[in-house]
């Protein structure tokens, strides 16, 4: 049962993080939120999928964990797995840069 809960939490972390960092949201709610925030810590947090995924994973890690150490591990695991999903689904697959001397 824990594997199912982890998988559900993982998908939720990825979806919420992707919504907040990459999309405008329904009725442009997220877009308007970004405009109101302006600049600063929260604005840069919403621009970076990887940073935001750590914060998004925390409530789900608390839900899954039975103690503090597990919470830290689940938080990092959920964030890391969401980052892997983001890399796999990112449509900006740029070819690696090649430098020749």
Round to whole Å and give the CA distance between 8 and 49: 19
- Positions in the chain whose pLDDT score sits under 50: none
**CB half-sphere exposure, 56, CA atoms < 13 A:** 27
Average per-residue pLDDT for the chain = 86
What tens digit of pLDDT does each residue of 69-91 get?
999 999 999 999 999 999 998 87
Predicted pLDDT of residue 91: 75
Q: What is the pTM of this model?
A: 0.79
């Amino acid at each position: 049962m824990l594997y199912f809960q982890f998988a559900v939490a993982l998908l939720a972390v990825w979806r919420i993080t992707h919504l907040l960092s990459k999309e405008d949201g329904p009725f442009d709610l997220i877009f308007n939120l970004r405009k109101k925030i302006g600049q600063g810590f929260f604005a840069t947090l919403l621009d970076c999928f990887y940073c935001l995924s750590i914060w998004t994973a925390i409530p789900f890690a608390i839900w899954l964990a039975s103690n503090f150490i597990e919470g830290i591990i689940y938080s990092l695991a959920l964030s890391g797995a969401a980052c892997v999903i983001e890399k796999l689904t990112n449509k900006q697959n740029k070819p690696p840069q090649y430098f020749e001397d």
